[in-house]
Chains A and B, each alone.
Chain A
Amino acid sequence: MTTTETKTPISPVSSTMLDAWTTESDVEREPSNLPDGWEMVIGLEVHAELATDTKMFSPAKNHFGGEPNTNVHPVCLGLPGTLPVVNEKAVELSIKLGLALNCTVQRCIFARKNYFYPDMPKDYQISQYDLPLNAEGWLEVPSGHRVRVERAHMEEDTGKSTHVGESGRIHDAGYSLVDYNRAGVPLLEIVSHPDIRGPEEAKAYVGELQAILIATDVSDGKFEEGSLRVDANVSVRAAGSDELRTRCEIKNVNSLRSLGRAIQYEAQRHVDLYNAGDKPVQETRHWDEEGGRTRPGRSKEQAEDYRYFADPDLVPVDPSPEWIEEIRATIPVLPRERRIALRDAGGEAEPAAIAVERGLDGLALAAIGAGAEPGRTLTHVVNNLAVDGAESLDPAHFAELVTMETGGDLTATQAKQILGEMVESGRSPSDLAAEHGFEAMDSSELETMLDQIIAEHPDEWARFCEGEKKLQGMFTGQIMKATKGQADGKAIAQLLGKKSSS
């Protein structure tokens, strides 16, 4: 078997930087949301529909929506005599994601997963079993925690059944309708190791994966259209132990919010069972969004035996090292590297993550590069800029604004106001500040103003000097009122401190 080493980090971040930034011991993990002594063990299986023009093995269109059974072809309908042919674009996108998840891309084979279901035209699903395309990688969530990815393999989607009857449930349906438009749509199943310890971490993992899928154009990553689907394997154990207890697979989770709720519910259910001297059974459970609980799936008399075997209609896919490198070259800078770049430029972790999430990290980096102070830059990017319109902002102007503010030429309030006007007008901050007559007040001017206020409020001043700190707000407010909000809050605080202790 040929395997290809693909652990090289992706430009433009150097490997030293990556290593320095990803020491697990630095990472703040989500605190346990379970009663004392318990921790969650969560592994996620994410299915992402690939953004191809055609299906995984069929020339039919891969297109969401459309009249039922219009995006079909004899191959994806599994008509007798038809044969699957691998969609090269699907392989390319799968490799791209594998590389983005730091996986080893390897020679792989397709296997048949055999089970009877009406929305599966062949009554087997072509998937991958013992030799997946992408093996053993990792994904780092914004906190810095690395979740190991066991595999990311290719498979085909099923159709959709609609059960027509009184309740809309399969058990008492009068009849069923099947739409095969989705049957055969290419899927990538990304399976994590059970490295996730809580609902927030699970949401962060899926959010990060979604961001990578979208950034790489591998998938549109839409929960609402089902192009991103998550199943969670949940178990609990004594905090800090290595054991893996009985897990339940939670399906029907349709949003990040549901994912967090479902995990929390299920883990607590396990804890309650153990505490009652009972234990969970390994099973598939469905998340009931309205009821806020998980319920057992259809009962199975025995464990599923999918009778996997290599699909004899298909030949192994053995991507050449050259092809892998070509694909690697198309990977954009990923969210994690963008966060690292911002951190490296002096940003704090949390605002850096938000800036990347908002897609404004490029602007922030450019401004910092032009000399703006990172903290104030990120504050504006996170709090004071709308994503729409921010792309029109000239980074040099933005940097100038931040520098004016940190240099004391503008107060925070003035800077915020000017920033809004810069986005609208495209004009420079110095221009706008001059037009408004904004100038930083020098401290003597501010002191004169404060003296007058002290004279008007002698009792309050005396109490403030005796330590009634809540009065600081009153004095600040008075100065702000007098200056129509143009005074610098930090300067006022300094002045109040100096004056009250003298």
Chain B
Amino acid sequence: MSVPSTATEIAAAVSSGSVSASDVVESHLAAIDARESEIHAFNTVTADQARATAADIDARVAAGESVGPLAGVPVALKDNMCTNGIATTCSSKILEGWEPPYDATVVERLREAGAVIVGKTNLDEFAMGSSTENSAFGPSRNPLDTSKVPGGSSGGSAAAVAAGFAPLSIGSDTGGSIRQPAALCGVVGMKPTYGAVSRYGLIAFASSLDQIGPFAKNVTDAATMFEVIAGHDPRDSTSIPEPAADVHTKLNAGVEGLRVGVITELMGEGQLQGFEPEVIAQTRAAADALAAAGATVGEVSVPSVIYGLSAYYQIAPAEASSNLARYDGVRYGHRAPGGANTAAMMKASRTAGFGAEVKRRIMLGTYALSAGYYDAFYGKAQRVRTLIIDELAAAYQNFDVLLSPTSPCVAFPIGAVSDPLTMYLNDTCTIPSNLAGHPAISVPFGTGAGDLPVGVQILAPLQGEAVMFQAAAALEAAAPGGQS
């Protein structure tokens, strides 16, 4: 039997013994060998460990053990998830060579579920960016068109799934860093409810916004991975105490009677500009497809989403300025030589270790928190956040899920966007879910300019993963090309 392509099929085949985990790993390592030099999805490929894990799984299957829902499934991890004894860099020189002495909770859960970790994927340095061009180790490329970016910041994880290097990967999403690259690479990417997945071992960018989630080839695989990684973790104080939602039961229930609201402000007709017409057209087509499948589709206004980007670029850099203070050369990571004293050493290490975008955000955030400016910037941004939460709550009075484009545009050429503010606009549609802590998923739906994929985003209220996946599965089934 040949190696299947989806996680669900692989896990079933490995568990039944019809395909060995070792064969699965070898076929994916072969795919990596074939195209990695061109794509640069990975910072580290852990081929030896992957082979050892696969052999262990095969032995357990042979011994009649039940291995888990991801038995033998290769998984790529964004290189901001700590892996015991394996370099974890955040694509930053400041952490180059650092090996964590512990595994992130998600890594533990993936291992327990039988997953085989094949490597650590490239990202915008410290997850700050929308194109993976901010990596200290060079950009990743979009497997569908290598002249284009894969999106970011989890560009390596999106590219790994799109290129067939792994059927599943893990990303982190602070302002859209899973959903936007998923859209640009034509795969499924999902950000869970804040607190649904433990952040323990995820190297923080902006703690109140960061959330770990899956990339997958299809909605079912994403749902499977979500169930594996979600659930309470006492090591994360912001972890939701209740068990994670069951998202499989209603996965194929269809959308008959489901109320779907298209967010007016995110359809390119209001104050927010820069939406590609093809993206808007596909989003409308997605809404129509859901209506055709039995959903009640309407429009809903969430006026404050137009301020989301501004609020985000106060809150996220503010938290980052504090989270990234610890990279000072004292305990680990890069230490610049020759400092006359400790303060000079710290300064020199940070100057040499951080890239331009990280420095920009640290400075923005430091300013936003400064005495005399706090209320005008950070305080005001938090009030916008509250407004968005309130308005979304009002929208969910009338709708079960909301709909918007994932990204205003399809994948753009590497090097094409040099202005940071223009780059930030990529996150316009994804940021509101981070500010509100709500789950959202990007599902590929047709193509836009250059025949590149378009992603349509389904947003759901707090802990609304079940209905979100339900709508996502229906959207996937209705998508042009008819994936299922």
Chain A residues with a Cβ under 8 A of chain B? 74, 77-86, 112, 114, 116, 118, 121-124, 170-171, 176, 178, 305, 307-309, 311-315
Is there contact, CB below 8 Å, between B207 and A313?
yes
A80 in contact with B326 given A85-B237, A307-B369 (CB within 8 Å): yes
Is there contact, CB below 8 Å, between A74 and B101?
yes
Chain B residues with a Cβ under 8 A of chain A? 80-82, 88, 90, 95, 98, 100-102, 104, 199-204, 206-208, 234-238, 318-319, 321-322, 325-328, 330-332, 341-343, 346, 366, 369-371, 374, 378
Is there contact, CB below 8 Å, between B234 and A85?
yes
User: Of the candidates B200, B206, B378, which one forms a contact with A81 in the assembled complex, judged by CB atoms under 8 Å apart?
Assistant: B200
Q: Nearest Cβ distance between residue A173 and chain B, in whole angstroms?
A: 8
Is there contact, CB below 8 Å, between A116 and B343?
yes
Is there contact, CB below 8 Å, between B322 and A124?
yes
Is there contact, CB below 8 Å, between B369 and A313?
no
Is there contact, CB below 8 Å, between B100 and A312?
no
Is there contact, CB below 8 Å, between A307 and B370?
yes
Q: Nearest Cβ distance between residue A488 and chain B, in whole angstroms?
A: 71
Is there contact, CB below 8 Å, between B366 and A79?
no
Interface residues of B: mostly helix, strand, loop or mixed? loop
CA distance A171 to B237 in the complex (A): 40
User: Of the candidates A114, A118, A171, A315, which one forms a contact with B322 in the assembled complex, judged by CB atoms under 8 Å apart?
Assistant: A114
Is there contact, CB below 8 Å, between B235 and A118?
no
CA distance A123 to B98 in the complex (A): 19
CA distance A80 to B325 in the complex (A): 11
A residues less than 8 Å from B369 (CB atoms): 114, 307-309
Is there contact, CB below 8 Å, between A83 and B104?
no
CA distance A170 to B343 in the complex (A): 11
- Minimal Cβ-Cβ distance residue in A for B319: A312
Is there contact, CB below 8 Å, between A118 and B330?
yes
- Minimal Cβ-Cβ distance residue in B for A79: B100
A312 in contact with B326 given A80-B88, A81-B104, A86-B237 (CB within 8 Å): no
6 new A-B contacts at CB < 8 Å, known A176-B342, A312-B238: A77-B331, A78-B331, A80-B95, A116-B346, A121-B331, A122-B326
- Minimal Cβ-Cβ distance residue in A for B202: A81
Is there contact, CB below 8 Å, between B342 and A307?
no
Is there contact, CB below 8 Å, between A78 and B200?
no
Is there contact, CB below 8 Å, between A309 and B318?
yes
CA distance A314 to B236 in the complex (A): 8
Is there contact, CB below 8 Å, between B322 and A307?
yes
Is there contact, CB below 8 Å, between A315 and B328?
no
Is there contact, CB below 8 Å, between B332 and A79?
yes
B residues less than 8 Å from A112 (CB atoms): 322
Candidate in A74, A78, A313 with the most chain B CB atoms within 10 angstroms: A313
* 9 A-B pairs (CB sep. < 8 Å): A77-B331, A79-B102, A80-B98, A80-B327, A118-B342, A121-B331, A178-B330, A307-B370, A307-B371
B residues less than 8 Å from A80 (CB atoms): 82, 88, 90, 95, 98, 100, 203-204, 326-327
CA distance A88 to B331 in the complex (A): 29
User: Of the candidates B80, B102, B343, B370, which one forms a contact with A74 in the assembled complex, judged by CB atoms under 8 Å apart?
Assistant: B102
Q: Nearest Cβ distance between residue A439 and chain B, in whole angstroms?
A: 74
CA distance A121 to B327 in the complex (A): 9
A78 in contact with B330 given A309-B318, A314-B237 (CB within 8 Å): no
A83 in contact with B203 given A78-B326, A307-B370 (CB within 8 Å): no
User: Of the candidates A83, A123, A315, which one forms a contact with B235 in the assembled complex, judged by CB atoms under 8 Å apart?
Assistant: A83
Candidate in B204, B237, B366, B371 with the most chain A CB atoms within 10 angstroms: B237
Candidate in B81, B322, B332 with the most chain A CB atoms within 10 angstroms: B322
Q: Nearest Cβ distance between residue A174 and chain B, in whole angstroms?
A: 11
User: Of the candidates A78, A81, A86, A122, which one forms a contact with B100 in the assembled complex, judged by CB atoms under 8 Å apart?
Assistant: A81
B residues less than 8 Å from A313 (CB atoms): 204, 207, 237-238
A residues less than 8 Å from B331 (CB atoms): 77-78, 121
Is there contact, CB below 8 Å, between B318 and A83?
no
B residues less than 8 Å from A123 (CB atoms): 325-326, 328
Residue pairs across A and B with CB atoms within 8 Å: the count is: 102
CA distance A85 to B235 in the complex (A): 6
User: Of the candidates B88, B203, B237, which one forms a contact with A315 in the assembled complex, judged by CB atoms under 8 Å apart?
Assistant: B237
Q: Nearest Cβ distance between residue B337 and chain A, in whole angstroms?
A: 13
Is there contact, CB below 8 Å, between B370 and A305?
yes
- Minimal Cβ-Cβ distance residue in A for B102: A74
A residues less than 8 Å from B328 (CB atoms): 116, 118, 123
Q: Nearest Cβ distance between residue A461 and chain B, in whole angstroms?
A: 83
CA distance A170 to B203 in the complex (A): 32
Q: Nearest Cβ distance between residue B226 and chain A, in whole angstroms?
A: 20
CA distance A78 to B328 in the complex (A): 12
A residues less than 8 Å from B95 (CB atoms): 80
- Minimal Cβ-Cβ distance residue in B for A110: B237
- Minimal Cβ-Cβ distance residue in A for B207: A312
A residues less than 8 Å from B98 (CB atoms): 80
Q: Which 9 A-B pairs have CB atoms at the shortest separation, nearest pair first?
A: A123-B325, A312-B208, A307-B369, A312-B207, A81-B82, A80-B203, A81-B201, A81-B203, A118-B330
Is there contact, CB below 8 Å, between A121 and B326?
yes
Is there contact, CB below 8 Å, between A83 and B236?
yes
Q: Nearest Cβ distance between residue B396 and chain A, in whole angstroms?
A: 23
A residues less than 8 Å from B102 (CB atoms): 74, 79
A residues less than 8 Å from B321 (CB atoms): 114, 307
- Minimal Cβ-Cβ distance residue in B for A57: B237
A residues less than 8 Å from B104 (CB atoms): 81
CA distance A393 to B303 in the complex (A): 80
CA distance A315 to B199 in the complex (A): 14
B residues less than 8 Å from A170 (CB atoms): 341-342
CA distance A313 to B201 in the complex (A): 13
CA distance A80 to B366 in the complex (A): 20
B residues less than 8 Å from A178 (CB atoms): 330
A residues less than 8 Å from B88 (CB atoms): 80-81
Candidate in B100, B330, B343 with the most chain A CB atoms within 10 angstroms: B330
A residues less than 8 Å from B199 (CB atoms): 83
CA distance A116 to B207 in the complex (A): 20
- Minimal Cβ-Cβ distance residue in A for B208: A312
Is there contact, CB below 8 Å, between A81 and B204?
yes
Is there contact, CB below 8 Å, between A305 and B343?
no
Q: Nearest Cβ distance between residue B231 and chain A, in whole angstroms?
A: 16
CA distance A313 to B206 in the complex (A): 10
B residues less than 8 Å from A307 (CB atoms): 321-322, 366, 369-371, 374
B residues less than 8 Å from A122 (CB atoms): 325-326
Is there contact, CB below 8 Å, between A309 and B322?
yes
CA distance A82 to B104 in the complex (A): 9
A83 in contact with B237 given A176-B342, A312-B207 (CB within 8 Å): yes
CA distance A82 to B323 in the complex (A): 11
Q: Nearest Cβ distance between residue B85 and chain A, in whole angstroms?
A: 13
A residues less than 8 Å from B374 (CB atoms): 307, 309
Is there contact, CB below 8 Å, between B237 and A84?
yes
- Minimal Cβ-Cβ distance residue in B for A178: B330
A residues less than 8 Å from B237 (CB atoms): 83-86, 313-315
Candidate in A74, A114, A307 with the most chain B CB atoms within 10 angstroms: A307
B residues less than 8 Å from A171 (CB atoms): 341
CA distance A85 to B239 in the complex (A): 11
Is there contact, CB below 8 Å, between A114 and B326?
no
CA distance A495 to B277 in the complex (A): 119
A residues less than 8 Å from B204 (CB atoms): 80-81, 313
B residues less than 8 Å from A79 (CB atoms): 82, 100-102, 332
CA distance A371 to B167 in the complex (A): 88
CA distance A170 to B319 in the complex (A): 31
Q: Nearest Cβ distance between residue B206 and chain A, in whole angstroms?
A: 8
- Minimal Cβ-Cβ distance residue in A for B195: A315
- Minimal Cβ-Cβ distance residue in A for B369: A307
Q: Nearest Cβ distance between residue A287 and chain B, in whole angstroms?
A: 24
A residues less than 8 Å from B201 (CB atoms): 81-82
B residues less than 8 Å from A118 (CB atoms): 328, 330, 342, 346
Q: Nearest Cβ distance between residue B381 and chain A, in whole angstroms?
A: 11
CA distance A341 to B202 in the complex (A): 57
Q: Nearest Cβ distance between residue B334 and chain A, in whole angstroms?
A: 13
Q: Nearest Cβ distance between residue B321 and chain A, in whole angstroms?
A: 8
Is there contact, CB below 8 Å, between A305 and B371?
yes
